[in-house]
Structure formats: C-alpha cells, structure tokens
Amino acid sequence: MTSTVNGTDVKHSTPDGEERPLLEIKDLKVDFTTQEGKVTAVDGVNITLYRGQSLAIVGESGSGKSTTAHAIINLLPGSGRIAGGQILLDGQDISKASKKEMESIRGRKIGFVPQDPMSNLNPVWSIGFQVEEAIRANGIATGRKEVRARAIEVLKQAGLQDADRRLKQFPHQFSGGMRQRVLIGMGLSADPQLLIADEPTSALDVTVQRVILDHLESLTRELGTTLLFITHDLGLAAERAEQLVVMYKGKVVESGPSLEILQNPQHPYTQRLVAAAPSLASRRIQATSHGEEAAGAHELGTEPATTTDTIDLIATAEARAEAHEAAMAQPPAIVIEDLTKVFKIRGSGDFTAVDKVSFEIPKGTTTALVGESGSGKSTVAKMLLKLEDATSGKILVGGKDLASLTGKELFDLRSRMQPVFQDPYGSLNPLRNIGNTISEPLVTHSVGDRASRRARVFELLDQVSLPRTLVGRYPNELSGGQRQRIAIARALALKPEIVVLDEAVSALDVLVQAQILRLLADLQAELDLTYLFITHDLAVVRVIADHVCVMQKGRIVEAATTDEVFENPREQYTKDLLAAIPGANLQLGA
Amino acid sequence: MPSNTRPAQAHFVAPIDETPLVAIDSVKAEGKPTNLWTDAWRDVRKRPMFWISSALIVLIVVVALFPTLFTSVDPRFCQLSLSNQGPGDGSVLGYNRQGCDIYSRIIHGTSTSLSVGLIVTFLVASLGIFFGALAGFYGGWVDAVLSRLGDIFFSIPYILAAVVIMSVLSQYASVWTISLAIGIFAWPATARVLRAEILRVKNSDFVMAATAVGVTRLRILIRHVLPNSIAPVIVITTISLASAIVAEATLSFLGVGLPSSTMSWGNDISQAQVDLRTNPQTLILPSIALSVTVLSFIMLGEVVRDALDPKARAQR
Amino acid sequence: MAGYIARRLLQAIPVLLGTTFLIYFMVFAMPGDPVVALFGDKTPPPQVLEAVRERYNLDQPFIVQYLLFLAGIFQGDFGVSFSGQPVSEILAETFPVTLRLAILAVLIEMVFGIAIGLVSGLRKGGIFDASFLVVSLILISLPVFVVAFVAQYVFGIQLGWFRTTVGPGAPIQDLILPAIVLATISFAQIVRLTRASVIDTGGQDFVRTAASKGLSRRRIVPVHILRNSLIPVVTYLAVDFGVLMVGATVTEGIFNVPGVGRTLYQAIIRGEGPTVVSFVTVMVLIYLVINLLVDLLYAVLDPRIRYAK
C-alpha cells in the first residue's frame, strides 16, 4: 500500500543504500510553560516523510497537530519550546539550528501555508508588497522588475489569473478563497522542498475548499513539492494524503498508509474517529444504500467497538430513519411560503438575503437547510424564530400565521419553538450559573414554583447526560460540547414542539459532534420533536435529516428527501456540494 | 553506487497502555464554581499593587472622614509671624507664607479632593451608563442622536468647559458646582466605552436565546447585557476618579476652582507659586499629597483592568 | 478616500454647531446679567462693558444672539479682549508661538513614547518593561502644574540649565523645558498604548506568517509589528490634543510663554470672562480641525478605512 514515487535522487541516500527521508521527526517533545507549570503539548512524536510524498497529520483540537507543524519551522507561539527529540531536514537537525540558519530555511526550504486566510495577511500592506518581500527575502529575484515578475508568476500559479492587476490591492479587497490562494502562492514562492499546510481550507466554504485543495494538490505534484498537511477531517486527510499520522493528546496513536488505516484502524481512538467522521459516514451510508452488502460498510471501522464511547454515526442515522418513517403522515408543523427578507444597505441599495423561500416541515421530522455562507439560511431561521421580521411571505407554525400574532400569542408561541445556536462560547451568559440558565425559560413563562423548577432542571440535565452537580457552576468551566448540551437543555425546558438548530454542531470536534448528533436523534424519538437543522455541512445532513433544502444566494435551489438529494441530485450546485464532501474518491468498502 | 530503496512505511499502532483513551467530553468541574468575578478576585488578590493601592485609598478615606485623628492643629489658625518657618516646634512640615501649618492644611484638604472625585465619578458613571446603555442597546435614531450629542460634549476638553462654567458661576463656586462643571463634560468617554461593549454583547447568541424565550427587552438589558458589558466601565470609572481630582486641582490652581476659603490642595499649590524660589516645600508638599492620591486610584484602575480585561491580562 | 473625507467633513458640521452653541449657552443662558457675571467681582471700564454687550447682541432673542455670534466666528471676529484689542489680533501674535511649542512637545512625546513603548512591548516582562511601567504610572499621576513647578525648580532654579521663563520672541532653546513638561502629560499614555499595541500585533497570525516566509526579525519588527501598532497610537493623537490644550494653558502660564495658552491663563486668573470665552472657543475650533486631520492621517495609515466606500 505504500506509495512509490519514482525518480528519487541519488544524493539523498544514506550510506547503506536506503533513501534518506526529506523530513524525519524523532521523539519530538514540545513544552509550554503556563502558570500551573510545564505542559507537554507534543510528546514523543515520530514522523517520516519522503521526497514527493504527501502526509497528513489528523487530530482533534488540542491533539498537538498544529504545534508539531509550528515546531518544524520553529515558530511556536508564546512560551512553547522544543524540549526534546530531533527534526531532521535532509539529515540536518533543524531543531538545533541558529536563528540565522532557521531564517534561511523558512520560505526557502520549508514553505508554510497557514490556517485562517482572514488573519494571516497584514491588513496594512498590499498583496504585491507581501508577496514581493517573501521573494526578496529568499533571494529568488533581485531588482524591482524581476521581483514583480516573479510575484505575478507565483500568484498566477496559485490561481489568481488577474494577478498583475491586483498586486496593488489590499487583503480586505480579496475574498477568503482568493486570500488563501495568495497564501499558497507565498508559501511556494521560493520553491521549497517541503510545504506545510496547516488546515489550509477549514475557514472556507466547502465548494471553495475543494477547488483550492485540488489546485494545491496539482501544483505540488507539478513542482515535486513534498506536502505535510494538517487537518481535523479524517476523510479529507485520507483523500489528500498518501500517509496518515493520527494524533491524540500530544501523541501519535497510529500512522501509516492512508487507505490501510481507514479500512483497518487498529487503535481504538482511530476507530472512534473513523466511526464518527460525518464525511466518511455519509459515504458509507451512500455505499450501503447503493445495494452493496452492509458487511462491506461495516468493515470500515464499525466492527470492534472496544469502548462504549465509540459512537457510530451510521447507527444514529439508522435509528432515526426508522423512528420517523411513521411520522411523515402527520400535518406539517411549519409551513413557509414565499418568505422574503430584504436588507437595506446604506449607500448601496437593497440586498435580498432570502428570496421567496417555501418549504414545509412535517411534524416529528428533521428538515435540513443547507447552504454556504451568505446563502440566507440563518436569516430564515431568525425569521422563523421571530428574531427578525420578514419583508414578505408567510410563516405558519401549527397553522397560525406568525405575522398576525398578538404579543401574548407570540409569547406563548415562543415556549413551543426554541433555538440552539452555533457558537458554544457565545450561547450561554457567562455570568449566570447553569441552573439559572436552564430555568430562565421556566421563570419567564412562570412555570411552576421554585422547587418544581429545580426538579425540572435536574430532569433536563439528566436528559442531556450531564451531572446534576453542574447547577451551581458557570459556563467557563465547561467544554464546547457540554455548553451545547446546556443550550439544548435550555431549549427543551418548556417542552417545545419545534427546535431550530442553527449550525448547532458545526463548531465541535468530530467525536463530540457525533455524540451531540446522537443525543439530538434520541431526544427527537423520545419527545417527538420537529427539527429545522441549519448547516453548511452536507455530510452531517446525511446522518440527521429526513428532508433537505439546498439554499444558494437566498433561494432554495433544490428540495427533496435526503436519500433523493444524495442519490439523485438534480441541480449542479447540489452536485458541487456533494462532491465537496471529502472522501469522494476513496474506495470504501468496495 | 548504492541502490536507492525507500523502506516501506509500516503501519504503526501505539500501544494502548501508553495512549489510554479518555471518555469523550467528560465533565471536569471541581472546587468552587468560578466565573469572571471570582477569577478576577483571585487574580487581584495575588498582586501587591492591589494591596498597596487599597491600603493607600483606605488611609486617604480615613483621613478625609476624620482629619482630627491625624492633627490637632487648626489649619485656619495662621500667624504671619510664623510665615515660611521650617518644621519643628510642634509643626511637622513647617508653615506657609500666611503662617498656616502645612501638615494640618494637607490633612484637612483631603476631604475636598476626595469629595470632588467621588461626586464627579458618580455623575460621570450615571450619565455615561445611562446614555451609553440607551445608545448601544436601542440603536437606531436613539443611538444617532445620543452619539452625536456625545461627540459634541467630547469635542470640548472638559477642563476648558469647566473653566468657562466656573468663570460664569464664580460667585457660586463650591465643591458641588465644581463637580458639576467637570462631570457634565466628562461623561462621553464612559458612554462611548459602554456603547461599544453593549454593541458587542447584544449580538451574542445568549441574548438571542433569551429573546427567543420571550424575555422582555428591559430584562434582557439588565440581566444579560449590562452585567456582561460593565467591566470596562468599572475600569474607566476608577481612573476617572483620579482625573477628577486632578481637574479640581487644576481649576483651583487657575483660580476658577474653589473659593480661597475652602481648604484645597489646588488652592494651596496655587498660592505657593510665588514662594517657589524661597520656600519650595509649601508647593511641593501638597503636590505630593495630590499625586499620591491620584496614583492610588490610577494603580487600582490598572490592577482592575488587568483582572477584568483578558486582553490586558495577556499583555502583562 | 474622497468619500471618507466628505463624510468626515459632513459629520464635523453638527459637532461644530453643537460645540459653539454649547459654549454660548453656558455663558449666556445663565441667570442674571451675563455680562456682569462674566466679569465676576471686577468692574470693567464702561466702554468694554458696552463693547461686550454690543458684541453679544444682548438685546436680541437668545437664538439670534447665538447665530450672530456664530456668523462673527466665521468672519474671524472673536470679540475684543479686556484691554480692547481684537482677539483675532492677539491670536495672530500668539498662535505661532503655541504652535511651535505644541509641535516640539508632540515630537518629544511621540519619538520617546513610541521608542520606549516598542522596546517594552518586544521585551514584555523584562526589567526595562517593568521599570517603565512604574515610571509611566507615576507620570500619569502627576498633574501638569506639579511637573511644571518641579521642572522649573530643579532645572531652572537649582541646576540653572534652562531659563525659568521664556524670553522675548520665544526662542526655541527657551521652549525646550516647557515642551518637555507638556510632553510628559501624554508621554506615559503613549508608552503604554504603544506597548499594548506592539504586544497585541506581535501575537497576530500575520506576524508568524511573515516569519514563515523567511523574513528576518529586523524586517518583521518595523514593517509588520511597528507599522500596524501605530494605528491606535495615531488615534490617540486626537484625544491627546485636547489634553495638550489644557496643558498648554497651564504650562505657558507658568513658564510665561507668550502664546495662546498664556493669554487664556492670564484672562482666567484676572477673571476676564469675555476673553476666556473667546479663547476657549478658538481652542475648541482648533481641536475640531486637528481631530479632522488625525482622522485623515488614520485613513492614510489604514487601507481598510481608505478604501471603504
């Protein structure tokens, strides 16, 4: 299964005839000094990367994957320092290189593409200035004209066709995707042997992400650049890299050829990841529903559930689908007709965020509203929740028109329809304790007395699987997933019929995400909830939704059942979105 | 020539006992519950600067409330025969040109500075919070009107404004009028800070969640928005107490502050100007009292900022 | 850029009207005869009293009085001083001196403030940083007149390095000490602001990216850290000038600098109300103009503002 790259150079071999790796990390250890003492962020990491290969480091937040990448170019943030081990670049240990040596290695030998295109370009200098200074610093060209010519060449290579015209422009005049292209161009400007790409596309829309990754892949292949790629998405990693390194809590738990790991994960943590990755799950569901034997799908990591904590998204999807087949016959809980929202923008006229959107949500089912940033999906949610007024069109909830509600009726309706938002760090008031947060809806609607409200809070904490001891604590002590559970508990306090989930799992790590998706499915079965599930991630939709509405630029371009959309997409845009789910080219279970 | 062989990259699996799995998203909440305020207190407690400034402020407050505990000399009992005499003979710091006891005048002048500081701060905080909260929370034309109004008041440096007001009201000069004159033009800074903070907080998801539950606007403002935006106001208020004390002293120094009959450090410094060459301590000593008082509040503001503003904490 | 300038100019109009109205209101809406009140316990010569009454059109309704006052300002008529000299004439004599003093002070505080702030920020937590943190706190706590007297006493009287008062024609060497005193007011603030800004910028992603491109520290510090850190410092300049005006009044008074500040200082000390109002009005107008200029400078420094529609 090892990939073989031909044309290895004679110079790069060791005396005993074996090819010398371009990058070899041996027992790398990175420490951070905090107020509580030393914290080891990376502990005993070994990575071997040969010329022309591509390797991905996969892990959740806090796994040490980015720290490893930063250690290689010796740009650890804050108090971080390399505490042990070696980083051999072509045989030379660069972890002990001097400042001066390191400066000549960065850019020239190792290129770096950072994560967030919004924050990685200096806002006060033009794009041309920033590319040119990289070229000049690495001695690629001298003289104004030559440097400029090279800058244009580099940017064109990175996919900016009108580079010569745009050199004078500033970062804020570029879109996110364009900025990421600039960063890729910069990383490759000195023609480095190794390119480190740290989650290079996770801040971008899925379709843009795909285009950029394709481009990066063909570009590095063309130039013969060795690629080290950092990502949290196992599907993406397996699709884009030949070799995989799975990290967990600062350690490498498993490494080797991508497909082998994906098809036959050995470490329980990797098994967990494979089972929980939505991109893989949606591919696997795809595979099963295409008539291939279920066993094939199961080979992909679902078999040995060594720990009770392993959550298989497929099981979630199946359980949910069964429970809701019956529900489809009931009258719709929500009817939306020709819903339109126009924002007035000072100076530049009107902007139609939502344009004649119509759909229904049957009671007890989940409808997903899918779209990229700016598609208007969240505005629909806000109008449904009456946090924003519609410009025109109708929203019927339980047969009642939202627009005609009196204050009292609206207040009553609010108890039947509750939201859960995206940002787990912003959705809870940091100064109120968990008990008060969960009971606020009860207090607002004068439900019960103190004692009964307290009992209800305990019941809700049980429902979202959190210990009752949390009532007196504050959100800052909880993780993102736990906060999201609290937000769900708050939403369920008044026993609503409808829950609007606005990107409710998007900010979470995959394992936690799988856990919350499972919780949502269980709660829906238990309480007969109707979900409007808003997301940019089609892979998750496959697991959770019965119906899908795909939104683009304020309009619904395609609406159908989840199976139909996935198996038989009609619109090109839907096809693009589906293709953007990582793992499309992986031979899974075949 | 050695042949080039690339060794096969083996499928490596870490031993499970070296990389044990932890339950996904397990709850780790131990000890006392903590939030912004408890964290801030824990942080502040560890800083010597907090204890030094607090001790000084407590001392200043005690001196202001009970001056007679610290001196039995009547600050108004002045004998020209003692003019500009040095320390000794029952006088701690000597006498000024009029033959009044310098130490006693400093002690008795404390309450004036502190009162002006407190009244101005109260005024600035109430006006600033009221206008800032209205503008930030209600937005729209309320914001437009209030922000322009703030701009106008902000465009007149408050000491210059107070100079004009006190010139006109010279026959009514007192601790109250001078505080009013300073406070009425000093509030926009507080309002601006609070407005910006409220704009940030009011778009939080927890505010949206409260709205979606049916919590009233006023209750959202009081329960959710204000408590989360008040921290910078506390910082700026502590510092404005110091600025107000300086403003009073400056106005008194310019002769448009408190009437000369009122015991005030600013007045004493102003009157001591002519003796700078001959008897500098008549000027230096009240200046030290003034500066130490101001420094105490500035230090307190500094510590509070470090504790409440995560950005400032990171910059320490 | 043009749109930005136009918008800033438009925004300045209500503020200009508002501030002048407020000043006028403070004086002339007060109870009693405002002209008498303005002179406090002084009895001005009758012709001055008459001139003031005429200038402020006290026989007209209040709003007309204000409009006439405003019209006067636009024609460069700021009234007459106590001695009967037109304020505009006094301004012509004194303004250049104050301008020189202010430029000197701003230069001193900016150059030293930014340099020290930069070093403090780059070496956060070091000895240099810690000592300047203490120094800056103390400097912030010292009222300007205290600094002025101490400087006058120590450097003028004790050491004899400078003259304690400024000689005729306000030669630049005599302005150095007052300028240093004036600079101390904001110097500490600039050090702290620069330091905070440098630390903040230093932690930004684009600084790491610049290093990853292979740039040396010697290039990153000025080009990517200092350059970006200047933006908040320049914004502070606008506030700074308000402080500087009050400071100039006190400093010029103490060092006897023949500038706008001293004229105002003497008018205040002598209780010459109308002159005080005229000069405060002038200072507020200057302040507004400087604010506009700083906003433009801000746009020059920050392309996000420059290219915003």
Cα–Cα distance, A206 to A580 (Å, whole number): 6
CA nearest neighbour of A225 among A53, A430, A460, A459: A53
Q: Which domains are seen in chain C, by residue range?
A: 32-77 (no CATH), 87-301 (1.10.3720.10)
What's residue A7's pLDDT? 41
Chain C residues whose beta carbon lies within 8 Å of the beta carbon of residue A172: 303-304, 307
Which residue out of A113, A122, A188 would a mutagenesis test of the C interface target, given it has the greatest number of C Cβ atoms within 10 Å?
A122
Q: Where are the domains of chain B?
A: 46-72+94-315
Q: Does C224 touch chain A (CB under 8 A)?
A: yes
B294: nearest CB among C141, C150, C153: C141
Contact B209 A257 (CB under 8 A): no
User: Mean pLDDT throughout A45-56?
Assistant: 92
User: Mean pLDDT throughout B252-279?
Assistant: 84
For chain A, percent of residues with pLDDT exceeding 70:
88
Classify domain B46-72+94-315 at the CATH superfamily level: MetI-like (1.10.3720.10)
Chain A residues whose beta carbon lies within 8 Å of the beta carbon of residue C208: 70, 75, 77, 114, 120
Which residue out of A249, A313, A474, A515 would a mutagenesis test of the B interface target, given it has the greatest number of B Cβ atoms within 10 Å?
A474
Q: pLDDT band at C55, cuts 50/70/90?
A: low
Least confident stretch, A389-403, A574-588, B124-138, B195-209: A574-588
Q: Does C280 touch chain B (CB under 8 A)?
A: yes
For chain C, percent of residues with pLDDT exceeding 90:
28
- B102–chain A nearest CA distance, Å: 48
Contact B254 C249 (CB under 8 A): yes
What's residue A453's pLDDT? 94
Q: Does B37 touch chain A (CB under 8 A)?
A: yes
Q: What is the mean pLDDT of chain B?
A: 86
Give the largest CA-CA distance in chain C: 78
Q: Is the pTM of this model over 0.95?
A: no
Model pLDDT for residues A156-204, shown as the tens digit of each residue = 988 888 888 999 999 989 988 899 999 999 999 999 999 999 988 877 8
Contact B11 A254 (CB under 8 A): yes
Model pLDDT for residues B101-147, shown as the tens digit of each residue = 888 888 988 999 999 999 999 999 999 999 999 999 988 899 989 98
What's residue A5's pLDDT? 42
- B193–chain C nearest CA distance, Å: 14
User: Mean pLDDT throughout C54-77?
Assistant: 76
User: Mean pLDDT throughout C41-56?
Assistant: 70
Q: Does C212 touch chain A (CB under 8 A)?
A: yes
What is the separation of C-alpha B69 from the centre of its chain, rounded to a whole number of angstroms?
A: 27
- C293–chain A nearest CA distance, Å: 20
Q: pLDDT band at A531, cuts 50/70/90?
A: very high
Model pLDDT for residues A58-68, shown as the tens digit of each residue = 998 889 999 99
For chain A, percent of residues with pLDDT exceeding 90:
49
Contact A48 B227 (CB under 8 A): no
DSSP class of residue A471 equals: G
Q: What are phi and psi of A331, to 5 degrees?
A: -65, 155
Cα–Cα distance, C94 to C256 (Å, whole number): 12
Contact A4 B2 (CB under 8 A): no
Contact A73 C210 (CB under 8 A): no
What's residue C275's pLDDT? 79
Least confident stretch, A111-115, A242-246, A304-308, B58-62: A304-308
Contact B168 C149 (CB under 8 A): no
Least confident stretch, A582-586, B182-186, B207-211, C34-38: C34-38
User: Mean pLDDT throughout A250-256?
Assistant: 93
- A187–chain C nearest CA distance, Å: 7
Chain A residues whose beta carbon lies within 8 Å of the beta carbon of residue B8: 2
- C241–chain B nearest CA distance, Å: 9
Contact A430 B36 (CB under 8 A): yes
The angle at the Cα of A569, spanning A563 to A572, to the nearest 5 degrees, equals 155
Tokens for A299, please give them: 């080979």
What's residue B280's pLDDT? 82
User: Mean pLDDT throughout B264-268?
Assistant: 88
Q: Which residue has the higher pLDDT, A510 or B315?
A: A510
Other residues' Cβ atoms within 10 Å of the Cβ of residue A110: 26
- DSSP annotation string for A507-519: TS-HHHHHHHHHH
What's residue A157's pLDDT? 87
Cα–Cα distance, A399 to B312 (Å, whole number): 53
What's residue C31's pLDDT? 60
What's residue A182's pLDDT? 94
- DSSP annotation string for chain B: ----BPPP---EE--TTTS----TT-----SS---HHHHHHHHHHT-HHHHHHHHHHHHHHHHHH-GGGT--S-TT---GGGTT--SBTTBSS-B-TT--BHHHHHHHHHHHHHHHHHHHHHHHHHHHHHHHHHHHHH-HHHHHHHHHHHHHHHTS-HHHHHHHHHHHTGGG-SHHHHHHHHHHHHHHHHHHHHHHHHHHHHTSHHHHHHHHHT--HHHHIIIIIHHHH-HHHHHHHHHHHHHHHHHHHHHHHHTSSS-TTS--HHHHHHHHGGGTTT-THHHHHHHHHHHHHHHHHHHHHHHHHHHH-HHHHHT-
In total, the C-beta contacts within 8 angstroms joining chain A to chain B are 170
Cα–Cα distance, A542 to A535 (Å, whole number): 11
What's residue B51's pLDDT? 94
**pLDDT(A230) > 80:** yes
Q: What is the mean pLDDT of chain A?
A: 86
Q: Does B205 touch chain A (CB under 8 A)?
A: yes
Q: pLDDT band at A369, cuts 50/70/90?
A: very high
User: Mean pLDDT throughout B10-21?
Assistant: 83
**pLDDT(B173) > 60:** yes
- DSSP annotation string for A255-286: EEEHHHHHHS--SHHHHHHHHH-HHHHHHHHH
Model pLDDT for residues C211-253, shown as the tens digit of each residue = 999 999 999 999 999 999 999 998 888 888 888 888 998 999 8
Q: What are phi and psi of A339, to 5 degrees?
A: -70, 130
Model pLDDT for residues B238-254, shown as the tens digit of each residue = 889 999 999 999 998 88
Model pLDDT for residues A291-327, shown as the tens digit of each residue = 443 333 333 433 333 344 566 777 777 766 665 665 5
**Contact residues for A45 (Cβ-Cβ < 8 A; gap 6+):** A25, A27, A28, A29, A64, A68, A85, A247, A250, A251, A252
**pLDDT(B5) > 80:** no
- All chains having 3 or more CB pairs closer than 8 angstroms to chain C: A, B
What's residue C15's pLDDT? 87
Q: Does B24 touch chain A (CB under 8 A)?
A: yes
**pLDDT(C42) > 70:** no
Q: Does C268 touch chain B (CB under 8 A)?
A: yes
Contact B294 C14 (CB under 8 A): no
A283 with A234: CB under 8 angstroms?
no
User: Mean pLDDT throughout C124-134?
Assistant: 90
- All chains having 3 or more CB pairs closer than 8 angstroms to chain B: A, C
**pLDDT(B221) > 50:** yes
- By the 10 Å C-beta count (0-12 exposed, 13-18 middle, 19+ buried), A304 is classed as exposed
Model pLDDT for residues C161-191, shown as the tens digit of each residue = 877 777 777 777 788 899 999 999 899 999 9
Model pLDDT for residues A80-110, shown as the tens digit of each residue = 899 999 999 998 999 989 999 999 999 999 9
Which residue out of A35, A113, A120, A127 would a mutagenesis test of the C interface target, given it has the greatest number of C Cβ atoms within 10 Å?
A120
B26 with A421: CB under 8 angstroms?
no
What's residue C87's pLDDT? 81
Asked casually if ipTM beats, i.e. exceeds, 0.95, the reply is no
Model pLDDT for residues B43-54, shown as the tens digit of each residue = 889 888 999 999
Contact A415 B214 (CB under 8 A): yes
Model pLDDT for residues A430-439, shown as the tens digit of each residue = 999 999 999 9
What's residue A300's pLDDT? 40
Most confidently modeled range among A250-259, A277-286, B94-103, C151-160: A250-259
A257 with A2: CB under 8 angstroms?
yes
**pLDDT(C299) > 70:** yes
Tokens for B240, please give them: 């404005």
**pLDDT(C50) > 80:** no
Chain A residues whose beta carbon lies within 8 Å of the beta carbon of residue B47: none
Chain B residues whose beta carbon lies within 8 Å of the beta carbon of residue C266: none
Chain A residues whose beta carbon lies within 8 Å of the beta carbon of residue C226: none
Chain C residues whose beta carbon lies within 8 Å of the beta carbon of residue A135: none
B90 with B219: CB under 8 angstroms?
no
Chain B residues whose beta carbon lies within 8 Å of the beta carbon of residue C34: 168
